[in-house]
Chain A
Amino acid sequence: MTMVFGVPVQALLGQLLVGLINGSFYALLSLGLAIIFGLLRIINFAHGAQYMLGAFVAYLLLAYAGIGYWGALILAPLIVGLAGAAIERLALSRLYDLDPLYGLLFTFGLALAIEGSFRYVYGSAGQPYAVPQALTGARNLGFMVLPNYRGWVVVASLAVCIATWLAIEKTKFGAYLRAATENPTLVRAFGVNVPLLLTFTYGLGAALAGLAGVMAAPIYQVSPLMGSNIIIVVFAVVVVGGMGSILGAVVTGYMLGLCEGLTKVFYPEASNIVIFVIMAIVLLIRPAGLFGRTA
């Protein structure tokens, strides 16, 4: 068996792939978080709950409406996004003039309330969600056997990240978003309805979290706590990438997923903390994050 640094190549590649899959979720979630923070200057603690909601909406759509994975992939982000937009309009938009701490506290409380309600109804145990028919099975890549569904998650999340990045960098909507991130008052004075843009952006960030939740459902099961498990790591990703940096969030998401995978091979005991160690080091050397602009 071929060895690299005393580790079988198979194990190495296998863990890298697991890292890539985790990284796909980190990237999707930190992308939404970065977009929201960039424009609204709110640290969205409800992001994990919105991810969980995406998974639960998929589960409920199947259980009560007979709508399967592919339908849920469209509908769940839409539903979570609309709920997000409603929350922004009704509550968050009233907090913009206050200390940013209020937005953080509000979203944190919201996350606790949503997660608590789902735990009350569904308990802490996960609900199973089947892999869609078309993506069952696995293929042999030579060095390892890759379940088709996990391959799909990597490809789909990469496609969504690239599409979102292009929408922000290359379209008129993206130009409004970038400009409003820099100077919302001036963009508003030019006649752009910035309050509406804020609502839409929060909805978009929530929808991305919901989409990640649907994609996660067949892998991690549907559980009320799935969001709070992953969101702490995602916050670390956003901090390492640089608060508000879209590209930073995506690249760092994949990168830290891979780092986590590598650590599982070489020093498994540290795999749970490696991301936070990296965060601490980055904060010491580059407080604005790897891709952040120092103000």
Chain B
Amino acid sequence: MTEAPLAQPPSDFRHEPSSRGTQPIVQSLLKVRGLNAWYGESHALHGVDLDIAAGETVTLLGRNGVGKTTTLRAIMGILPKRTGSVRLNGREMIGTPLHKVAAAGLGFVPEERGIFASLTVEENLTLPPVVAKGGFTVEELYALFPNLKERRRSAGTQLSGGEQQMLAIARVLRTGVTLLLLDEPTEGLAPVIVDRIGEIILEMKRRGMTVLLVEQNFRFASRVADRFYVMDHGQIVDGFAAAELPGRMDRLKEALGV
């Protein structure tokens, strides 16, 4: 926690033609090196390297089952069997007990959203302890998500799928974490809700939050991301800036099987 303040990455870095995503940034908020992870005996990640600078939104792309969700879970430490290095602000997170990871600045929105059925909407929203200043207040969140305010006394799982996703994101925004791991936030949601979630991510960017996103919805990802990583077989195989996206579309579509 006594690290020197982070230098911002060069503002024009996004337009640089550096295509290997493994080392595009000099100093990163999140620096992952040689991350291996296992589900029981099954070896799921084979040396993932990635960097994310403060304020960036980075999207992990890849076909189903290549290890995108596993990467988020391994960074967070929800997957306990992992080796390698995950440094947040220079602080090593591997070996940090899971309940101390949030205080270091990592927030997590799981793919299944993780809304608690036995808690009301408001209890769900205020459940995660605030770990740092600069998070959204409950009032700001209710202004951003009026539906949640209307239904704050309902049980969390009585919300629609879209509302549950909003709640899952809002819940973490309150805590003041600096880096948000967001797993497939648009999965199974109507286009109008997807647009709304896109706006929220852009609002988060405006407030200087950093986001690592796993997303299958290509159109959505291209709207919000500054940079992309492509995964295959539990490894990062490619990385490029958003500006390079149009020229790579054909190759990507083939690689992703879309």
Contacts and interface: CB of A to CB of B under 8 A. Distances in A.
Interface of A: 175-176, 178-179, 181-183, 185-195
B175 A190 contact: yes
Contacts of B103: 191
B110 A179 contact: no
A164 to B, nearest CB: 16
B117 A182 contact: yes
Contacts of A186: 78, 108, 110, 114
B98 A176 contact: no
Contacts of B117: 182
Contact of B114 (A175, A176, A183): A183
B98 A189 contact: yes
Given A175-B123, A186-B110, A191 B116 contact: no
Which 5 A-B pairs have CB atoms at the shortest separation, nearest pair first?
A191-B102, A190-B128, A178-B118, A186-B114, A188-B98
Given A186-B110, A186-B114, A191-B175, A176 B127 contact: yes
Interface of B: 76-78, 98-103, 108, 110, 114, 116-119, 123, 126-129, 131, 175
B98 A185 contact: yes
Nearest to A293: B117
Nearest to A178: B118
A188 B99 contact: yes
A186 B128 CA distance: 10
B142 to A, nearest CB: 18
Contacts of B114: 183, 186
Task: Name the prevailing secondary structure of the A interface residues.
Answer: helix
A175 B99 contact: no
A178 B117 CA distance: 9
A191 B117 CA distance: 20
Contacts of B118: 178-179, 181-182
Contacts of A192: 99, 128-129
A223 B196 CA distance: 65
13 contacts: A175-B123, A178-B116, A186-B108, A186-B110, A188-B98, A189-B78, A190-B129, A190-B175, A191-B100, A191-B101, A191-B175, A192-B99, A192-B128
The secondary structure that dominates the B interface is loop
Given A179-B118, A181-B118, A182-B118, A189 B127 contact: no
B73 to A, nearest CB: 9
A189 B76 contact: yes
A194 B119 contact: no
A194 B123 CA distance: 17
Given A189-B76, A190-B175, A178 B119 contact: yes
Contacts of B126: 175
B108 A189 contact: yes
A182 B116 contact: yes
Nearest to A97: B80
B211 to A, nearest CB: 17
A193 B123 CA distance: 18
Nearest to A191: B102
A156 B118 CA distance: 28
A178 B156 CA distance: 12
B174 to A, nearest CB: 10
Nearest to A180: B116
B172 to A, nearest CB: 8
Contacts of B110: 186
Contacts of A189: 76-78, 98-99, 101-102, 108
A182 B110 CA distance: 15
Contact of B127 (A181, A185, A190, A193): A190
A182 B119 CA distance: 10
Contacts of A195: 99
Contacts of B76: 189
A178 B126 CA distance: 14
A190 B129 CA distance: 7
A169 B149 CA distance: 20
Given A185-B78, A186-B110, A189-B76, A194 B116 contact: no
A178 B119 CA distance: 7
A179 B119 contact: yes
A191 to B, nearest CB: 3
Nearest to A186: B114
A102 B210 CA distance: 43
Given A186-B114, A189-B98, A190-B129, 19 more contacts: A175-B127, A176-B127, A179-B119, A181-B118, A182-B118, A183-B114, A185-B78, A185-B98, A186-B110, A187-B127, A189-B76, A190-B108, A190-B127, A191-B99, A191-B100, A191-B103, A191-B129, A192-B128, A195-B99
